[in-house]
Amino acid sequence: MAQHVHVTESSNDSNMRALKVKAAPFGIKDKIGYLTGDMGNCFILGLVNSFLMIYLTNALGIAGAVVGTLFLCAKTIDAFADVTVGRLTDVAKLTDEGRFRPWIKRMRWPFCIATVLIFLPFVNDFSMPLKIVWVFITYLAWGILLSTVNIPYGSLASAISSNPDDRASLSTFRSIGSAIGGASTGFVIPLVVYVTATNGQKVVSGYRFFITAIVCSVLAFISYHFTVGMTTERVQVAKTEKVPLGAMFKSLGKNKALLSLVFCDLFIVINQILSGTTTTYLFNDYFHNSKAMSIALLFTYGSVILLSPFATWLIKHFGKKEVSIVSLTVSVALYVIMYFMHIRNPWVYLVFMFIATVGYSFFNLMVWAFISDVIDYHQYVTGYREDGTVYAVNSFARKVGQALAGGIGGYMLTWIGYKSSTSGGALQSSGVIEKIYALANLLPAALLLVALLILIFWYPLNKKTIDAVDEELAKINSQD
pLDDT digits (tens, 9 = 90+) for 332-342: 999 999 999 99
Alpha carbons 283 and 297: distance in angstroms, whole number: 10
Considering the entire predicted model, what is its pTM? 0.71
| DSSP states of 123-139 | GGGS-HHHHHHHHHHHH
The one-letter code for the residue type at 227 is: T
17-71 confidence digits (pLDDT tens):
555 556 789 999 999 999 999 999 999 998 998 889 889 988 999 988 898 888 8
CB 23 within 8 A of CB 174: no
Give the whole-angstrom CA distance, residue 107 versus residue 47: 19
Instruction: Kindly state the DSSP code that residue 453 receives in the 8-state scheme.
Output: H
Task: For residue 427, give the 3-state DSSP assignment.
Answer: coil
pLDDT at 191: 87
CA 180 to chain centroid, in Å, comes to 13
How far apart, in whole angstroms, are the C-alpha atoms of residue 239 and residue 409? 43
Residue 461, classed as helix, strand or coil, is: coil
SS3 (DSSP) at 418: coil
Half-sphere exposure of residue 279: CA atoms within 13 angstroms, side-chain side: 29
Q: How far is CA 389 from the centre of its chain?
A: 17
What are the tens digits of pLDDT across the range 124-144? 999 999 999 999 999 999 999
CB 274 within 8 A of CB 50: no
pLDDT tens figures, 241-268: 565 556 666 767 778 888 899 899 899 9
**Residue 202 DSSP label:** E
pLDDT band at 161 (very low <50, low <70, confident <90, very high): confident
Give residue 53's pLDDT: 87
Lowest mean pLDDT among 56-65, 327-336, 385-394: 385-394
Q: Where are the domains of the chain?
A: 13-478
CA 269/CA 367 separation, integer angstroms: 11
What's the one-letter identity of residue 385?
R
What is the per-residue pLDDT for 476? 65
13-478 fold: Growth Hormone; Chain: A; (1.20.1250)
Rg (CA), the chain: 22
Angle at Cα 29 formed by Cα 25 and Cα 32, nearest 5°? 140
pLDDT tens profile 280-292? 788 887 887 777 8
Residues in the chain: 480
Helices then strands, each counted (H, E), the chain: 14, 5
Average the pLDDT over each of 174-183, 260-269, 417-426 and give the range with the smallest value: 417-426
